[in-house]
Structure 1
């Protein structure tokens, strides 16, 4: 299983002599899939553990059972012992079209409203309305209206449309800067949903001071905020009217992580090159659905939508219907890779200087997963989550995966609390 890590670690520009420190235990498969989901997840999480302990010589370990729970962490969130609901709206599903299938995303109210507007129907009439559309035509109409959906394609059709796949992680230096002094990393978190928040919660569990900013008019789904906010402080800020506050945070940050479409935040002065010019020495991590190149670069997207478009849904499906991975692996794996890349770039900056930009995309992670050897989807035994859960105030959460020096990782306070913190650094 650990044979997937060396080439991935090389892509991250990690030193090969660090690899021996990771020890993986547990069943080789804990998540049933035609893809090596367990191994891919172990490689991504393992990379984050190695990056967080770089140069220490400390042993890091991971059990594939705790990995299975961590990659589906949203399923285990409880508050006062009660579930916080299903993050998927009933309309967020596969729907038959006139020429195949389409995966719709309607979890956020504004995306749901856009879908209903395009379809011109009530919620109950959505399946029948979608059945009258050609998949790609509806996909385009949803995008133009601010909605999200993707026609289900084969991998070959996706590659013909989008070209060769990018690397799972891309790194570039975007400016000169002196090496910064070593200190507790400060991370400005401008992400939503899963991939970006997983990256920043991983940085938090390894000791970073993380401040997440959200727009006041874009509330988060309660389950997702509970799952991805432990260890962070969450504040609300309009990036347009709050430029002075944003600039103060940027001036004190070591790492900035964004999780929006390429270019979407440029109007706020957050383009990587501009950030590097104003704040030399930053590490800038950008995560997106489709990457910064190609015909889909500026489209909205989520894990389930990428699976549908790139051919994973076909590979995971039955002859008469598409399917899905056993977890939102594209999100979670991209998040752990983002954390690993940020930590490695931060170490590089503190050693050699420079302003560093890391790019990741769900579609790139999907291509990496699709390029790995396939396996027979024999059913894996269901993992008992109880040993891998943690209580944090009123919340029950999946424990962060892995151990350092034999000590299991655990979420640190504060407990998840959306939008209640002041936008500032702890030691200011």
Structure 2
């Protein structure tokens, strides 16, 4: 329970409420050298507890509902993008150029799932757009890992040199990350939040009636907003029309949401109308990328007093890497995780994209806690999380289970329970929600739809 208590304290929660959480420990779940299972359990546990707390507040319950965290359900949810099936088809995972490569002095990992990132990677290496894996491998083998990192970054692409934990600890960005709290939190402006209507106790949907403007991409941010949709929020994801999401990724994280496109350069009036009725704005673009559109937390709070603004990034909004793009796989490589999980001189990876999923649940938890706090004083809130800070917690703060720490379910080999339903995308088979609390929801209210096909307006 130590890690749940730590994360709950980082979110500003009442320590006494941690006793409402019970766990089912499954020793084979998310097995790794690092304590991934324990981190995942803590992230989901505090998210469920934050949901139960807000639900109790809005429903007028005398006691916060009991929370149950099952490692098996958590592990299944952390693999959701791998377990998804659409008409029986397995999802497309990493593109051919998203992988580890040998360099002249070590290893580098690239991320080129999106077409524009592939183009930038090949351009940085002075290779043609149709270059095969073999040509890329040859080009990278001639350069040092840090040279590739800087060259590709300068071209707007994504590549990170493999570092050991000690090498990362000596990096200036690591120092900036480690001195920050797991979740940065603060208040904005005077009291001006709308009063939310009371809730029925069953089913208990803590976020019912809340409007969440989702400006996130990839996994961490969308997992957070997918969780808010599970809990009853009206979540509208808005993307630039020229930057489509990867279809399978969108399907996995699109449960419970609607998806619209909007060009902020020409559709500001529409965006301001959305903002004017929003309770929460969640952003997942690299720090500063949206500031020119007036979407910094300060600017948003001025235009919409009482708003909760949540930000998630790869490296944090500070330090020499504060403005860099990044993904879970790259953060693992930079922070020494890939070196720790590697074998026979080759880098490895966590059993799931645990930094993405874990940070996503922490993000949702931070939003829910901000809403609970706002219900008392009416003031807006901001919260910030970073994959690199979650990685710092995993590598230096999460405690591995000791035998007898908690109840253990001996049947660790049970296949994950999946849900099936029809959708506009086809017949879906998918991981159920990991959150579990008394009278809470068991599934999302709606399946995902095609990317960008909804109108940019609130329901």
Into which bin does the TM-score normalised by the smaller protein fall? over 0.9
- Residue 186 of structure 2 is matched in structure 1 by 172
Match of 2:228, SS state, is helix
Is the 2:108–2:145 contact (alpha carbons within 8 Å) kept by the matching residues of 1? Answer: yes
Distance 1:290 1:412 in 2: 33
Is 2:125 the partner of 1:116?
no
Is the 1:167–1:368 contact (alpha carbons within 8 Å) kept by the matching residues of 2? Answer: no
**Unaligned segments of structure 1, at least 5 residues:** none
Distance 1:215 1:318 in 2: 41
**Unaligned segments of structure 2, at least 5 residues:** 198-208, 402-409
- Residue 60 of structure 1 is matched in structure 2 by 67
Residues 248 and 234 of structure 1: CA distance in aligned 2, closer, same or farther (over 3 Å): same
Which has the higher mean CA deviation after the structures are superposed, 147-156 or 186-195? 147-156
Is the 2:282–2:310 contact (alpha carbons within 8 Å) kept by the matching residues of 1? Answer: yes
Distance 1:258 1:374 in 2: 30
- Residue 424 of structure 1 is matched in structure 2 by 457
- Residue 206 of structure 2 is matched in structure 1 by none
For 1:372-387, list aligned pairs within 5 A. 372=397, 383-387=413-417
- Residue 407 of structure 2 is matched in structure 1 by none
1:126 to 133, 136, 140: 136
- Residue 405 of structure 1 is matched in structure 2 by 438
Is 2:391 the partner of 1:366?
yes
- Residue 182 of structure 1 is matched in structure 2 by 196
1:281 to 289, 306, 311: 306
Is 2:76 the partner of 1:76?
no
Provide Cα deviations, 1:184-213, integer angstroms capped at 9, x if missing partner: 111000000000000000000011110000
Paired residues in the alignment total: 421
For 1:260-275, list aligned pairs within 5 A. 260-275=285-300
- Residue 318 of structure 2 is matched in structure 1 by 293
CA RMSD of aligned residues (A): 1.8
For 1:349-360, list aligned pairs within 5 A. 349-360=374-385
- Residue 245 of structure 1 is matched in structure 2 by 270
How many Å apart are 1:77 and its aligned residue? 1.0
Distance 2:386 2:422 in 1: 31
Is the 1:71–1:328 contact (alpha carbons within 8 Å) kept by the matching residues of 2? Answer: yes
Is 2:390 the partner of 1:391?
no
Distance 1:395 1:414 in 2: 8
Is the 1:191–1:259 contact (alpha carbons within 8 Å) kept by the matching residues of 2? Answer: yes
How many Å apart are 1:384 and its aligned residue? 4.5
How many Å apart are 1:382 and its aligned residue? 7.0
Is the 2:287–2:322 contact (alpha carbons within 8 Å) kept by the matching residues of 1? Answer: yes
Distance 2:422 2:439 in 1: 21
Match of 1:349, SS state, is helix
Is the 1:116–1:123 contact (alpha carbons within 8 Å) kept by the matching residues of 2? Answer: no
